[in-house]
Structure 1
């Protein structure tokens, strides 16, 4: 009987030790999980800050772009610096093209900042490009856009090119129904 009692004690000791190890492992895993949760929350905060900073940088860039364009629109001599069009333009056309650039850039920045969806970008572009001067500007800057390959701006430019092709080929005067707005990426 003495042997049975010793065997049981060893079994209970081994079981208790095993349970202690399991409990310790569970506690360690829980502590690691808690640490990972804290790290994940911190990463989310940092990503949000980075996103806010990116939007702030884009807004500042748009403001600077508009200030430069405004100066060029108001001063024909400064506007000549921005005359990079593939066809010669007179002073009035140059001012109009600069304003068309401002309209498009504004729309582009609004989308990039997240203020409007891709669908809203498309619908606004469809309206802006009803104007023949804006279309002339777009054609005059085709070569400039070709240098943007692989960028988000190039993708949006191609979207506009496709839209303009659809508008030109449409059998309707109801331009607001032409084209299928793209799905969000």
Structure 2
């Protein structure tokens, strides 16, 4: 006959359960710590990018270093101001993109914000001048998807038969 045990664990089973719980707890804490470090690194990277961008906007000589837009077709007298405007346009776009990535706005709200930005001809000019910058993005990346949404907004506004820009275009599916 076999002996039946009801509700009793031997020392080995209790030790194994304790070790499994401990390992799961350590894995959870490790993931949490990695996420925290990653978030801190992202915040620091964004802070540094904004700092560098601000310096470039304030100083035409630094703007010439930071900007990769070819302005040789423009008169030399226009180039410093235009370069700084493009850098600022980039900052506005990046702010909208980061707001979406951080979860502060949803896809539809991002669409609306970008549609407002596109009312400015300088933003549209910047967007066209930097088209080749987006060619190297991974097609499936969020940034590429947002770029395609921005392309669609610009095209919708150009094709619109109305001055009611706030009703032009629908946000693409997320």
Shorter-chain TM range is 0.7 to 0.9
Q: TM-score, normalised by structure 2?
A: 0.76
Contact 1:145 1:157 in 2 (8 A): yes
Give the count of matched residue pairs: 166
Distance 2:173 2:106 in 1: 10
State the match for 2:159 in structure 1: 169
Cα RMSD of the aligned pairs, angstroms, is 3.0
Q: Answer yes or no: is the 8 Å Cα contact 1:126–1:176 preserved in 2.
A: yes
Of Structure 1 and Structure 2, which has the larger fraction of its residues in helix?
1
CA contact under 8 A between 1:58 and 1:109: conserved in structure 2? Answer: no
Separation in structure 2 between the aligned mates of residue 46 and residue 177 of structure 1, nearest angstrom: 47
Structure with bigger gyration radius: 1
Gaps (5+ residues) in structure 2? none
Cα distance in structure 1, aligned partners of 2:25 and 2:162 = 52
Q: Higher relative contact order by CA 8 Å / sep ≥ 6: 1 or 2? A: 1
Are 1:20 and 2:5 an aligned pair? yes
Aligned to 2:115: 126
Stretches of structure 1 that go unaligned for 5 or more consecutive residues are 1-12
Q: Do the aligned partners of residues 37 and 170 (structure 1) sit closer, same or farther apart at CA in structure 2, a change above 3 Å counting?
A: farther
171 and 92 in structure 1: CA distance in 2 versus 1, 3 angstrom threshold: same
Aligned to 2:144: 154
2:167 equivalent to 1:180: no
